[in-house]
Structure 1
């Protein structure tokens, strides 16, 4: 299909999905020479990345080009086997198992097994969902195919076949939200569903999409007065023939998730994944409808009523939507899970469904190991499932590392040095490119309340400064507040009791540092080890400038309306200075139980002024026998996967490092790694080490002057 994964990081800083999907994303970027663009651009390196992981997974049997055609049951509530046919090999397979997982998208296995399912749109009266239509219908989101064009370096004519759709009205595109981002590839809005059935009419949909794709290319090449000049040297290189399907059957599970859950960030005791895409419901009919999906139709206005209603803070996803209601040994993952049509708008994107896949597989493994039915897992062993997911590199907003087998949790941590946070200004740059600002120089007027997250590492903040420009010619007064926030996605713009408030006086002039003597101390509810947020309120004649560098874990947002905020630009750091400098990258952060910036920075970073090598050490009060060391490094979290260039290796990620154990009065190297680019590494020692001290020595990074570690775990085996 040539569609790259989207997920929570499209809208939230530090929200990239981790676990198996992260290993794949990092491996693909490190190996691929091609840039990432939107739909249609992806090359076959992605296929090879997936295939390589499958081939290298011990014990995995996989059957390509194979379709499940029926199921065999034991009684009413269990599947004994699935029957499948391998295309082109005249092979029929009967696959027996204890637990089956329907990841077909269309819910084909659940349907054949007799589990209840839904298809279409619920009416607003059923669950009171703001995005639901007034009346229920069979309407679903449609399917898309894509194309890619190639610059031939000389004029290339194009004549569409007579059966292609003919387009000639510019209003169909420019006034109805169908944007031409570029001419090399695209577009998601080449979409058709209603009135056709997205399952039974799939081949008809494919043909119709082909007719429309060729007609749109004909419009670009031959009729649009601007585009035809840009496209003069381009020729069609590829046209997809596998429709990308957004919606069909949704299998009813042990819980039915509605849009109230992601919108309200429901806290689930069986949380096993998370999402963060907006409630993205495409207009039924696609190209046959009067407009494209609503946010596109209104020009992606970030503060409109629809945008406010649709924006979702990262939210938890429960295991129960992946447990079939009527079949005891059937699970599901993907877009066919137990959600309403409206909720599907946010959980259906590929990076989110990848997390659900790993979560469901992990729950199945735990159930098998304990001899449980999958339906018993939420009540019997959720802690074990959640802790295993964290150990395997996943992130859960509501769960911390509490793994009793993790020996590192009983250790104390120290380091050769630790970085301080001074702040950053417009002139700042990230050495080595570890974080770099991508915003263009442009007006940054305070048209809305804007906030900067600041990690607190002491029990005092004597002063804060911000870099402002006043373009009015007269003194401007800007209201400022400092509030406690729960985490970096605490987007509440109201309801906080300010720790401090003032009005800043800003004289006319450009890029001036305005200082607020806050005098905040612990007695005033200032707490080390958490975030505060510095908010400047609306002042349309004043600019608050972005920093030229991103301070790790220090993100920003602005008020979009409805009492909530959203990421400001790419979520980078606004210009600020803090006094005294904050020690918020201590060694103990690697044992915080969270392996990314969230409720705190949760990363150790060495002093960038100190040369490498730098080390982080664990020490126990008594010797421990250690057979496995798991390391999580920073990187690949701040921005969405689409922001990373070809052959990308994150500068923050350690490139060369050693693991050393203390024995016989000296350090012994037990693991030596060179040319690393993955952010999570599992090291099984050749022989277990019994020691009371272990340290990780970072010899070189991908370019960042600071060594950094987000998490260390140690296990006997």
Structure 2
């Protein structure tokens, strides 16, 4: 029994003082990725989240799918999915939750965090104040958990604000912005005017289901009673739910920080009014059995404060794909702005303009220019309103979280401030540390000098020489133009042989295309065109191109549309090989071609996009000379995804036991072996609602063994599904070499490895 007598003064809350190396405020994807990365790199990390679950807008409380540079596989950013911990989370969710259950995704995030002994997780805990050591340094953050009625005082030399609204940075006095910059300030021609509005709003969603029997619906008093107040109400479908209603948006004309509760009520008004319309308007058939299963109780926020860092991203950085010496992450979502009137606007729900490829994000955009021990992460990073339209999406935020977490760990180890890492040697260390865990910074390779495999003799039992993509049984009609994306060598003329079927005598146009920027996958350069006469029926066709590529890069063997012609497909799939189509993906404003108005600083170009499996098969063809780009030397080139070339060792399918032998002239003391495998960086892996046909990517090396040169088994992996596999050797382990014996993922997909890191 607890009994306390009356006290004339006030009682004090139970208070816990926690100390760490790094405090992260905000448990969305940016905060989660930062925490896991920092903790694994040795930093004692405190992660504070004001909700009962992690994930922010990706959690079951909001249920927005995670997207980033892959952009629903609707743009030209091939193999662009974000890496490291962000990738690990998406791949884990695919394996355990390919159906896209948002509640299961909650458990995946929680599981990842609680498995890290260096993370102290505080859920249901809201930071509401900070104390400062001096004008430019935070000393502590104060938080309260109403569930356990406890106050927390959190102290650390380093802080990260990943809170969404920037509570810590705001309280600490950091410079911030809300709203849109003028065109003149940064020369951003896409900057919106007042009519369009300066802020993106909040969104809330609902789920419905069949109850198996008739269910009536009586709306609450606050439900919208006139559906025509929503100019786009005819877009409402009884089968849509969740974040397919992303355009249920409101609040862009008000204060998206302090008016969130009012915005929430307006969105509830919309949701219950829309459901009333679906159930009771008489305009929808077969809705009697439908009932509401779930309605969000907190809004998903898009935009509020943006804080000023040491560099502010802008439109030109995205569209022109500018490079930075301090690049630590990448983006690739469109510049995606929404009318401030949201659901009540008569304009399109969004205006999206894509770049021709991915872009780099500099470390400086994650470092506050005012508060010396404060990192910025998530949607509050240093970017203009226009650039924010791209950097704000969750997978991009997660990639930035990886960078911040690693930077914090390096700072904590050496007693540094965030800006100290901008020293040339230290930024290289940060970039390398990130790439060694799979970040995949575009254009930045793992440092070969820090990888013992670069000193080794590496041989393979076989190497794929791709002279033929074998014929299957299915035919692809060329109603939509298709291109086989292949890694070709510079100044080499190639010949291709395909099997075609024509309904009648006709002519097919076949082109050799490539991207103007070698690292892009936008085929705006047509090197050669051939007109191929076809007779009715099946026939083999040879196409010998005289033109060659100026450098090693991907080329597009392009069959233009002709709905009277079909091409034979293959069931075989290979790492770094894919077909793309000049098709549409309206989810990302792709109608086959981007045609911006003049004067907004955006490029016009065609979209060539993949199809999701089981579609999107390769074209059956013979290739002469064979593609010799899958050599074992790729294992030490520092690039762990397709980029200019496949950058992978790929075995020959006829090899019954693909084997790699790595040997040194002198014994080496080893600590770590890390394999970077192919989990199809081209797959968007949306986290919720959508669902996917596979839980393991078809290219992924699932089973392998690692031996020493004497045949002693060191490690064995069975049933792998993850991208990065890390093995640690016993202390003091010394050897002159390693042997890796692998199994092909399937009879149609050869074994492959992108990169091997040995330390």
TM-score calculated relative to the size of structure 2: 0.81
Q: SS where residue 387 of structure 2 aligns?
A: helix
Are the equivalent residues in 2 in contact too, given 1:29–1:646 (CA < 8 A)? no
How far 1:515 moved relative to its partner?
1.4
Aligned residue among 141, 153, 170 for 1:82: 141
Look up the match of 2:464.
419
Residues 1:678 and 1:328: Cα distance change in structure 2 (over 3 Å): same
Q: How does 1:543-558 map to 2 (within 5 A)?
A: 545=567, 547-549=569-571, 550-555=573-578, 556=580, 558=582
Look up the match of 2:342.
286
How far 1:690 moved relative to its partner?
2.2
Tell me how far apart the structure 2 counterparts of residues 543 and 592 of structure 1 sit (CA, whole Å): 41
Q: Deviations over 1:217-244 (max 9, x none)?
A: 111222262xx32433221111111110
Look up the match of 1:432.
none
Residue 652 in structure 1 maps to residue 699 in structure 2: yes
How far 1:714 moved relative to its partner?
0.5
Q: SS where residue 62 of structure 1 aligns?
A: strand
How far 1:312 moved relative to its partner?
4.9
Tell me how far apart the structure 1 counterparts of residues 232 and 419 of structure 2 sit (CA, whole Å): 48
Q: SS where residue 212 of structure 1 aligns?
A: helix
How far 1:17 moved relative to its partner?
1.4
Look up the match of 1:106.
165
Gaps of 5+ in 2: 1-61, 583-591, 595-602
Look up the match of 2:721.
677
Are the equivalent residues in 1 in contact too, given 2:137–2:373 (CA < 8 A)? yes
Q: SS where residue 336 of structure 2 aligns?
A: coil
Residue 564 in structure 1 maps to residue 623 in structure 2: no
Look up the match of 2:652.
607
Are the equivalent residues in 2 in contact too, given 1:123–1:135 (CA < 8 A)? no
Q: Deviations over 1:21-76 (max 9, x none)?
A: 121112222222x613xxxxx43111111111111112111111111111111221
Residue 7 in structure 1 maps to residue 65 in structure 2: no
Tell me how far apart the structure 1 counterparts of residues 661 and 143 of structure 2 sit (CA, whole Å): 53
Residues 1:548 and 1:326: Cα distance change in structure 2 (over 3 Å): same
Look up the match of 1:368.
412
Residues 1:535 and 1:71: Cα distance change in structure 2 (over 3 Å): same
Aligned residue among 230, 237, 244 for 2:300: 244
Tell me how far apart the structure 2 counterparts of residues 410 and 548 of structure 1 sit (CA, whole Å): 39
Aligned residue among 740, 746, 751 for 1:696: 740
Look up the match of 2:36.
none
Instruction: Name whichever of 313-322 and 411-420 sits farther off.
Output: 411-420
Are the equivalent residues in 1 in contact too, given 2:452–2:758 (CA < 8 A)? yes
Aligned residue among 492, 496, 508 for 1:464: 496
How far 1:171 moved relative to its partner?
8.0
Tell me how far apart the structure 1 counterparts of residues 318 and 242 of structure 2 sit (CA, whole Å): 35
Tell me how far apart the structure 2 counterparts of residues 698 and 644 of structure 1 sit (CA, whole Å): 30
Aligned residue among 255, 260, 268 for 1:210: 268
Aligned residue among 110, 115, 119 for 2:174: 115
Tell me how far apart the structure 1 counterparts of residues 206 and 330 of structure 2 sit (CA, whole Å): 31
Are the equivalent residues in 2 in contact too, given 1:121–1:133 (CA < 8 A)? yes
Look up the match of 2:544.
517
Q: SS where residue 89 of structure 2 aligns?
A: helix
Gaps of 5+ in 1: 37-41, 296-306, 430-439
Aligned length: 667
How far 1:547 moved relative to its partner?
3.7
Are the equivalent residues in 2 in contact too, given 1:660–1:668 (CA < 8 A)? yes
Look up the match of 2:372.
328
Q: Deviations over 1:195-214 (max 9, x none)?
A: 33211011111121111111
How far 1:548 moved relative to its partner?
4.8
Residue 173 in structure 1 maps to residue 205 in structure 2: no
Tell me how far apart the structure 1 counterparts of residues 128 and 199 of structure 2 sit (CA, whole Å): 24
Tell me how far apart the structure 2 counterparts of residues 644 and 670 of structure 1 sit (CA, whole Å): 37
How far 1:186 moved relative to its partner?
4.4
Look up the match of 1:145.
204
Tell me how far apart the structure 1 counterparts of residues 230 and 756 of structure 2 sit (CA, whole Å): 56
Q: Deviations over 1:271-293 (max 9, x none)?
A: 00001111111111211222342
Q: SS where residue 683 of structure 1 aligns?
A: strand
Look up the match of 1:220.
278
Residues 1:224 and 1:267: Cα distance change in structure 2 (over 3 Å): farther
TM-score calculated relative to the size of structure 1: 0.86
Look up the match of 1:444.
479
Q: Alignment RMSD, CA only?
A: 3.0
Instruction: Name whichever of 251-260 and 395-404 sits farther off.
Output: 395-404
Q: How does 1:384-423 map to 2 (within 5 A)?
A: 384-423=429-468
Residue 35 in structure 1 maps to residue 99 in structure 2: yes
How far 1:194 moved relative to its partner?
2.9
Q: SS where residue 733 of structure 2 aligns?
A: strand
Q: SS where residue 331 of structure 1 aligns?
A: strand
Are the equivalent residues in 2 in contact too, given 1:279–1:346 (CA < 8 A)? yes
Instruction: Name whichever of 538-547 and 273-282 sits farther off.
Output: 538-547
How far 1:633 moved relative to its partner?
1.1
Q: Deviations over 1:270-320 (max 9, x none)?
A: 10000111111111121122234245xxxxxxxxxxx6x434521111111
Tell me how far apart the structure 1 counterparts of residues 411 and 317 of structure 2 sit (CA, whole Å): 26
Residue 359 in structure 1 maps to residue 424 in structure 2: no
